[in-house]
Structure formats: structure tokens, C-alpha cells
Amino acid sequence: MDLETLLSYEWGIMAPEFIILGVATALTLMDLFMPKTQSRKILGWVGFAGILAALVSLLGLIGHGPESILLDTFRLDSFAKAFKLLLLIGSALVLLIAISYEPNEGLEEFRGEFFYLFLAALLGAMIMSSSGDLITLFVGLELLSISSYILAGMRKRNQLSNESAMKYVINGSIATAITLFGMSYVYGLTGTTNLKEMAGFLTSVYNEQHIYLLGLAFFMIVVGLSFKLAAAPFHMWAPDVYQGAPTPVTAFLSVVSKTAGFIIIIRILFSIFANAPSGDVQGLPMILALQDYIAFLAGATMIIGNVIALRQRNIKRLFAYSSIAQAGYLLVVIASMSLFMFDTLWFYLGAYLFMNLGAFAIIQHVTHKSGSEDISQFAGLYRRAPFLAIAMAVFLLSLAGIPGTAGFIGKLNIFMGALVPSEGHYVLVSIMIATTVISYFYYFGVMVQMFFRPAADTGKVKIPVALTAVIGISIAATILFGVAPNIAFDFLQGNFNQFTDFFQ
């Protein structure tokens, strides 16, 4: 590639990625040359400013038409812009949580590493959302994964943190190998790694053996990426990693990393297998012929996540199983494949972002003050800190899907989407209703502790400014999008053109 061709590309569409890369590089150099005695929190604020700059840059690109550069390996379409918006907002809130994080065993000497590894993980997720090629998708996935492995083990003197990092690395490596194996089959059949070229080639595949290999590739890719989503029965790593990792990392994994997982699933499955023949007599595309398997995965994930959560006493493990259950609800969206699938997925991930990060901000503060992660530490929180108790109640009600919250609107959209097709997914909807009712028991169990149990410690709770900002923003968004969801849907439909350019 000559210099003239290189300069001819519209590099401006990569401005958010360049900003995150530049800030991460700057933080690395600042951490290297700063005195060891100086607090690294300043690096967190620089990183936060960088994320806000990337967010402003992305908002400036919303009116930009779909465009691709670098031989169609990087695409700026409506899907990329909409989901990058979630990634950047979620990451900004997680960074505010991280700035306030003070573990009992100390973290100051490693705090600088946290901030630039966090930005590297965010960069990987953003690359995935704009990838038009399997190679760039995989590079983004590994940048996110490797950074996450290190972040999970950031508390080097904590045994649980070390254990969580080890389990995460082993499970993540196996998942990556399975995913890559599935990708290699598709590449072998098509001779290209470009998603658009693959889709065009697969429309003309009629050889039964080739279709069989495509089916194998589909299952391996779905299984490998199900590890990333913590979907049952590939969820084994999640509770231990969520419990052992630093709380900001747990928040990041539960929201930003999960969003990235759904981004890569949509990019691969609907770019490649939406056009691939399944070989059945009805001539259905492979993704429609095999959607029952995704539905089974969704049902198993909802049941296992919600049922096992009933027995949890550790608040972070409880939220780990809650996160697994939420992945099941989101898989229902993919299994139903309704016309407004992208809208439903985007809204629910946005609602989940605010209600979960707000809850983790409160969990971090309460568990740090008490030195324990047992649910009993929330006893009498309403008497000690009414603001925290009321905010936590709103987030729990939203996670449970109670009317008046964003979580309710999100679940309602999922129900409607699953029932819209001519052959509605009635069994899946029934499982979702039943498991949602089950979730009330453990969500309301935390509320009982906060409002109806005597407090062990009657001292008042002082909340850091950064955590107050996260909780305030999250509670406002959770209530606003629950009462007036049209604000989000009008913004989505007015700026992202129904995601029609996803398949162009």
C-alpha cells in the first residue's frame, strides 16, 4: 500500500479509537515517569477526560454516512456508532467507580496499570464493533480479553483475585481456541476473512459436505462466544471471577465486556450465517434453521442463572448469577430474530448498563466500609444512608423488571419481539416470565436487608463524589427511560436509520 492510498482514506471515522489509543499511550508514559509516592488517581481523571473526548468525537460522527476503510476491515455503520455509544458511556462510569476504589490491602502501586489496561480493553471492544473482517474482529477480541485477564488479577496480594485471574485465563483461552477453530472452517470454505465477501460467497454454497462444515463452524463460534457472555452451561468461570476481581473490574466485565460479547456475536452470526444455506427442504438460511439451538441456550441460561442465584450469600456472586440470567434475556432477543432486534438489544443493554453500574457503585462502597461481601452487610442501610438504600432499591427493581423502570421497558420489548414472528417463541417467553418471577426472591432479599433488618453499624456513611455522580446518573437514567422510553427510541430511530446499513 503506497503513501498516496494510505492518505486517501477517511481516517476521521476512526477518531474515537485514535483518542483512546493516544490517551492510553500517554497514561503509560505518565505512570512510568511519575514519582512512586505520587497518587495515580490523576491518571484516572485523565483517562476519564479521554473517554469523554472520544464520546464527543463519536457524537460528531453520528450524521456521517456508512463508510469503510482499510479494504473494508473497518466499518463505520449505524450498528458501530450505536454500540460504541454504550461502550463509551459504560466505560466512563466504570472509570469513576475505579477512581474511588480503595481495597484494604492497597492498590496504589498498581493503580496506574489499571487505567491504561482498562483503556486498552475498551479499545478492543470498539474495534470489534466496527470490524468488517474476521482478523480485526479477533484482534479486538484478544485486546479486550488479555487486558481483562490482567485486570481480574490486579489485587496481586489477594488470593481470591489470583484465583479468579487464573480461572479466567484458562476458560478464556479455551473459548478463544474454539472460536478461532470455527472461524478457520469458514475461512477455509470461502478463502477470505472479509465478512462481506464471505456472505456473498456462501449464498452459492450447495455442497452438502460444505454445509455440514458450516454447521460445525456455527456451533463452535456460538460455543466459544458463549464463554465470553457467561451463558450457561459455559458460565462456570463467572461467579469466581466476579467475586475475586476488584469491584470496578467486576462492573466492567458485567456490562462493557458483555456488551462487546453481544457485538461480536451479532457481527459474525448475522454477517456470515444469515446468507449461508442450511440444506433443509424449506431453503431457510442457516441462522434461521438453527435458531432453536440459540433459544435452548437462552432458556438454560435464564433458568441456571436465576435458580442458583437464590442460594448466594456473597453479593458479588449473586450479581454474577444475575448477570448470567441477564445474558439469557438478551439471547432471547437473538433467538427471536424479530424485525426490531437491534433496537431491542441496544435499549436493553443501555438500561442494563445504568442499573448494574449504579448497583456496583453501591456494592463497592458498602463492602469496602464493612470489609465483607456478605448480603447481611446491607442490613439497616436505609437508616445509615437513605440515599444509597433508595438508589439500590431502584436498581434492584429495574433488574427485576418492575414497571416504572428501564428494566421493565427492556423486558417488555423482549417479550414483544419474541411473540411477533408468525411462529412465536411461546416456550421461551414462558421460561422468561417464570425465571423473572424467581429473580424477585433474591433481588427483594437484598431489599429486605436494607429496609427491614436492624443495622449492625449505626454510623453514617460518607459517599465519595465520583461514586455519587455514578449513582446519580444511573438512577436518573433508570427512571427516565422507564417513564419516557421514547426519548431513547426516538434518538435511536432518528440517528441510526433502523440499522439498515448493517448488511450493506
Tens digits of per-residue pLDDT, 391-412? 999 999 999 999 999 999 999 9
| 127 within 8 A of 35, measured Cβ to Cβ | no
State the Cα–Cα distance between residues 20 and 123, nearest whole angstrom.
Answer: 6
Q: Which of 349, 296, 360, 294 has the alpha carbon at shortest distance from 326? A: 349
The model's pLDDT over 257-310, given as tens digits with 9 standing for 90+, comes to: 999 999 999 999 888 888 777 766 566 788 888 888 999 999 999 999 999 999
The model's pLDDT over 308-365, given as tens digits with 9 standing for 90+, comes to: 999 988 999 999 999 999 999 999 999 988 888 899 999 999 999 999 999 999 999 8
Q: Is 133 helix (H, G, I), strand (E, B) or coil?
A: strand
Is the previous residue joined to 233 through a cis bond, with omega within 30 degrees of 0?
Answer: yes
Please count the other Cβ atoms lying within 10 Å of the Cβ belonging to residue 12: 14
Question: What is the per-residue pLDDT for 400?
Answer: 92
Q: Interior CA angle at 184 toward 219 and 214, to 5°?
A: 40
Tell me the pTM. Answer: 0.93
Q: Provide the 8-state DSSP code for 232.
A: T
pLDDT over threshold 80, residue 503: no
Question: What is the per-residue pLDDT for 372?
Answer: 80
Mean pLDDT throughout 97-110? 71
Domain ranges of the chain: 290-504
Q: Is 141 helix (H, G, I), strand (E, B) or coil?
A: helix
Which residues lie closer than 8 Å to 305 by C-beta, 6 or more apart? Answer: 232, 235, 321, 322, 323, 324, 325, 326, 327, 328, 435
Helix (H) or strand (E) holding 76: strand 74-76
Q: What is the dihedral of CA 475, 479, 480, 482, to 10 degrees?
A: 140
Which residues lie closer than 8 Å to 303 by C-beta, 6 or more apart? Answer: 232, 328, 431, 435
The model's pLDDT over 40-69, given as tens digits with 9 standing for 90+, comes to: 888 999 999 999 999 999 999 888 778 888
**Percent above pLDDT 70 for the chain:** 96
- Report the phi/psi class of residue 380: left, alpha or beta, with left for phi > 0 and alpha for psi in -120 to 50: left
For residue 236, give the amino acid letter. M
Longest dimension (CA), the chain: 72
